Structures are given as C-alpha cells and as structure tokens.
Amino acid sequence: MKATIRSVSSLTVISALVGLALFQVTINAPAQVAAEGKDAVELVGKSSQRQTERHMSCFLGLRTVVYRVADLEKAKAWYSEVLGKQPYFDQPFYVGFNVGGYELGLVPDAKAGTSRDSTGIAYWGVDDAKGAYERLLKMGAAAHEPIQDVGEGIIVGAVTDPFGNIFGVIYNPQFRVEK
C-alpha cells in the first residue's frame, strides 16, 4: 500500500484538492444564496457583471505596429533618423522603437516591399502633419495619401517608406491618450 501512495504524483494530489474545492463551492453556493436571500443574488449578479466588463475591456490600446523590411540595417538607420532616436530593442530578428509610449517594430523579411497584403494604415501622431509629411518625402519616402484636413482640425497623410511600408501621420487635436 505504501508503494502505491508514494507513486501518486504531487500534480495528482493538487488536482484532486482543486476538484474537491470546486465541488464544495458548487454544492454550497445554492444553499448560501437561499440562506442570504436577495443580497446574495445581487452580489452574484454584480460579480458576473464585473467579469463581463473585464472581458469587454481586455483591450488596453495600441501597443505595436510592425513593418516588414528586406534590409533591417538600412531600415533601422532610416527610422532612427525619422524618429530622432535609437531603438530600445535591437536584435537580428526584431528592432523596436519606443514612440511616445507605443512601439514601432521592424521585422526582417526578404519578400518585404515586393507585395503588400491589404491592411489598414497606422497613423503616428505628430504636432505638424504637413511638416512631418514633407520631411518624410525629403528622406526618401514616396507619397501614398496626400495631406488633407478630414474635418474638426484633424490632418492626415501617408507615405510609403523606402522599404514598401505605408507610414501614416496624423495631427488630431481631439484625441488624448487615456491613462
């Protein structure tokens, strides 16, 4: 008998204890609700609502925009100049820049710039969209979407970087990053 007990793994014991605890909660919950009445039902309802809200707000916001590039070193140099800073993460498989609390990432891809899947455009916030757009063109980017006022003082434009990626700029006086 001792040999059998010794062969039971810790994982098996923990699993059994967790199962027993869940069984106890399941058995006791209806009795607790019945004994405590309406207040317990409201508490269970509020807990369920908080869980739903937590799942609905699981998105924390934009974190990273990744651009695929055929020449990682050239792209790193170009973006370092565009952004006025060096990457915070620099490895042969990925280069990452912190841009105002968001990440611009570069990933090496030999096929980058040869074909482009249909995707959205990431617009990077700037204080002067027209100035930023013109600067990008002078640095070797090509016009993709001309600078335009789309209303309410919001100004957008996009270029194609030297590596085939669409890079948007936006001045939006209406938008503030939530903290």
C-alpha–C-alpha distance, residues 104 and 168, integer Å: 12
* pLDDT computed for residue 77 by the predictor: 98
Contacts (Cβ under 8 Å, ≥6 apart) of 57 = none
Residue 120 has a pLDDT of 76
Yes or no: say if 41 and 33 are a contact pair by the CB < 8 Å rule: yes
Q: Is residue 69 part of a domain?
A: yes
C-alpha angle 15/18/24, rounded to 5°? 140
pLDDT of 1: 46
| Three-state SS sequence of 118-159 | CCCCCEEECCCHHHHHHHHHHCCCEEEEEEEEEECCEEEEEE
In a domain, 177, yes or no: no
Q: Are residues 26 and 71 in the same domain?
A: no
Final residue before a domain boundary, out of 56, 82, 100: 56
Q: What is the pLDDT of residues 45-55, one digit of tens each?
A: 555 555 555 55
For residue 55, what are its two tokens? Answer: 């799942």
pTM for the model stands at: 0.61
Q: Are 127 and 80 contained in the same domain?
A: yes
Q: What is the mean pLDDT of each run of 10 residues along the chain (179 residues)?
A: 42 39 44 51 54 61 88 98 97 95 92 73 94 97 96 94 94 85
